[in-house]
């Protein structure tokens, strides 16, 4: 079969930035005495190489030896995607299976991509290293760990935080993408609020949100739009009709080059003078007050838990997480799962860390308020510009 030629896309970052990221990961590997890291998270693979394809439903690995060039192991049919979207040279892409013949994906003669990986590690003389594996990541399967331990007999360390701790602090170019995502989420939230009214379906609202954000340059966010019309969290849209007396907690994120800017606002379809609206305004007012307290507290040098301690004073010492790092992400999460604004988190804040500061309450119904912020030299910068209030339709 004739080899497919692809034109390499313009990468979202300069090659030097990718090289710097890999160097920082290797520094962390040395500190943790990890000789070879197996990266399975599509977010982390993207961060280090630029690889951007919806191929993470099958096994793929970025192999990072401490003392040799890294390489990507992915499905043969996705080799052109690796050529197209990464800075990797041809010899650094090592696909399993033949072009368009998936011996390793649901094949009658069962073969697993891990078998290919282990054979490759053996042939490269990398099968006797001290391994790091993302043991608490969505995309690291138990089968991977078992294969390394039983087939290679190697020691495996938990490297879940190896790469995320590197991108906890963003570069200026990453911040630029998050600011672009913020312009997108502003438009998406505006379209949501305009669409919500008595008699429309949740489907109609969701379609307006998605249409607006994609039309304005947005890429696929890691979460779908969440339109929460009950006291249950993390519910997406249905074909239910929004009616008088319905509250809608809208949680969405603009996304640009896999960098997100999440935002939450609450909308109520009710009369301005109703008791429902009066009660909701009181609760939202406290959420906004707590949010402002959090922003006033944020500054370089403090521990993450201090933000939660101060913000939760508004809610009678309620112990709660009031923010988490957000930015780079692939499904199913735009949160970066490292530091959080919650009791016990001793992470010291630094400039260019980014967080989704959020308040979620379920009494008397689901009410959310949130914004994405950047830690600056002086305090906190809110990335999106959108009214802070309860919206009544």
Structural domain boundaries in the chain: 15-166, 168-392
Q: For position 319, what pLDDT does the model report?
A: 58
| Number of Cβ atoms within 10 Å of the Cβ of 110 | 9
Look at the block and give the residue holding tokens 């309620």.
318
Residue 235 predicted with pLDDT over 80: yes
> Which of 206-220, 253-267, 311-325 is the least confident region?
311-325
Which is it for strands 380-382 and 36-39: parallel, antiparallel or unpaired?
unpaired
Peptide bond into 332 cis (omega under 30): yes
Instruction: Answer for the pair 242, 197: CB distance below 8 angstroms, yes or no.
Output: yes
What is the secondary structure of 340-384 as a DSSP string?
-SSTT--PBP-TTBEEEEEEEE-SSS-EEEEEEEEE-SSSEEES-
Q: For position 130, what pLDDT does the model report?
A: 97
Residue 135 predicted with pLDDT over 60: yes
Among 332, 314, 333, 335, smallest CA distance to 323 is for 335
Mean pLDDT over 289-299 rounds to 96
| Number of Cβ atoms within 10 Å of the Cβ of 192 | 25
Instruction: Answer for the pair 376, 360: CB distance below 8 angstroms, yes or no.
Output: no
What does residue 218 show for φ and ψ, rounded to 5 degrees? -80, 145
Q: How confident is the model at residue 100 (pLDDT cuts 50, 70, 90)?
A: low
Among 174, 114, 193, 244, smallest CA distance to 386 is for 193
Mean pLDDT over 13-29 rounds to 97
Residue 47 predicted with pLDDT over 60: yes
User: What is the per-residue pLDDT across 254-282, written as a single tens digit (0 to 9) for each?
Assistant: 999 999 999 999 999 999 999 989 999 99
Tell me the H-state helices in the chain: 15-32, 42-49, 79-85, 113-123, 142-147, 164-167, 172-195, 202-215, 275-297, 304-311
Q: Which residues pair with 371 in a beta bridge?
A: 357
CA distance 309 to 297: 10
CATH class of 168-392: alpha beta
Residues 6 or more apart whose CB falls under 8 angstroms from that of 352 comprise 169, 170, 171, 172, 174, 175, 374, 375
CA distance 278 to 283: 9
Q: How confident is the model at residue 4 (pLDDT cuts 50, 70, 90)?
A: very low
Instruction: Answer for the pair 374, 354: CB distance below 8 angstroms, yes or no.
Output: yes
Among 378, 356, 385, 354, smallest CA distance to 172 is for 354
| Number of Cβ atoms within 10 Å of the Cβ of 201 | 15
Q: For the chain, first and last CA: distance in Å?
A: 60
Look at the block and give the residue holding tokens 């199913």.
332
Which one-letter DSSP state was computed for residue 303?
B
Percent of the chain as helix, strand, coil, to the nearest 5: 35, 20, 45
> Which of 116-120, 298-302, 359-363 is the least confident region?
359-363
Mean pLDDT for all residues in the chain:
93
Peptide bond into 364 cis (omega under 30): yes
Residue 30 predicted with pLDDT over 50: yes
Burial degree of 205 (CB within 10 A; 0-12, 13-18, 19+)? buried
> Which of 30-34, 178-182, 209-213, 362-366 is the least confident region?
362-366
Residues 6 or more apart whose CB falls under 8 angstroms from that of 325 comprise 168, 335, 336, 337, 338, 339, 340, 353, 354, 355, 356
Q: Which CATH number does 15-166 carry?
A: 3.40.350.10
pLDDT above 70 coverage of the chain, percent: 94
Report which of residues 234 and 364 the model is more confident about: 234
Which one-letter DSSP state was computed for residue 17?
H
User: What is the per-residue pLDDT across 152-198, written as a single tens digit (0 to 9) for each?
Assistant: 999 999 999 999 999 999 999 999 999 999 999 999 999 999 999 99
Residue 339 predicted with pLDDT over 90: yes
Q: For position 226, what pLDDT does the model report?
A: 95
Q: How far out from the chain centre does Cα 161 lie?
A: 14
Domains 15-166 and 168-392 share a fold: no
Q: For position 198, what pLDDT does the model report?
A: 96
Q: For position 203, what pLDDT does the model report?
A: 97
């Amino acid at each position: 079969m004739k080899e497919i030629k692809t034109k390499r896309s313009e990468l979202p970052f300069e090659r030097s930035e990718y090289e710097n990221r890999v160097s920082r990961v290797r520094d962390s590997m040395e500190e943790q005495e990890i000789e070879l890291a197996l990266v399975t998270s599509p977010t982390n693979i993207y961060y280090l190489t630029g690889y951007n394809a919806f191929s993470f439903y099958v096994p793929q690995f970025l192999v990072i030896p401490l003392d040799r060039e890294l390489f990507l192991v992915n499905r043969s049919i996705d080799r052109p995607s690796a050529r197209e979207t990464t800075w990797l040279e041809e010899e650094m892409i090592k696909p399993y299976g033949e072009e368009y013949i998936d011996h390793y994906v649901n094949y009658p003669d069962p073969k697993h991509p891990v078998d290919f990986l282990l054979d490759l590690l053996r042939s490269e003389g990398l099968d006797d290293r001290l391994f790091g594996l993302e043991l608490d990541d969505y995309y690291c399967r138990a089968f991977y760990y078992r294969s390394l331990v039983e087939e290679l007999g190697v020691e495996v360390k938990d490297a879940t935080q190896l790469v995320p701790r590197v991108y906890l602090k963003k570069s200026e170019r990453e911040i630029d993408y998050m600011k672009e995502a913020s312009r997108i989420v502003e438009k998406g939230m505006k379209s949501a609020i305009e669409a919500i009214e008595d008699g429309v379906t949740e489907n109609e609202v969701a379609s307006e949100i998605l249409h607006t954000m994609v039309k304005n340059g947005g890429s696929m966010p890691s979460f779908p739009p969440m339109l929460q019309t009950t006291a249950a969290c993390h519910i997406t849209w249905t074909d239910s009709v929004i009616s008088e007396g319905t509250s809608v907690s809208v949680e969405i994120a603009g996304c640009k080059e896999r960098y997100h800017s999440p935002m939450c606002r609450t909308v109520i379809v009710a009369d301005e003078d109703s008791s429902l609206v009066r009660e909701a305004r009181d609760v939202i007012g406290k959420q906004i007050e707590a949010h402002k307290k959090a922003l006033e507290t944020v500054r370089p040098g403090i521990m993450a838990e201090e933000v939660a301690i101060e913000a939760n004073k508004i809610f009678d010492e309620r112990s709660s997480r009031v923010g988490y790092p957000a930015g780079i992400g692939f499904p199913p999460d735009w949160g970066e799962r490292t530091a959080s604004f919650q009791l016990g988190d001793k992470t010291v804040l630094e400039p260019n860390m980014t967080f989704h500061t959020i308040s979620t309450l379920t009494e008397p119904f689901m009410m959310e308020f949130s914004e994405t912020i950047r830690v600056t030299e002086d305090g906190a910068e809110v990335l999106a510009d959108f009214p802070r209030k309860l919206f009544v339709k």
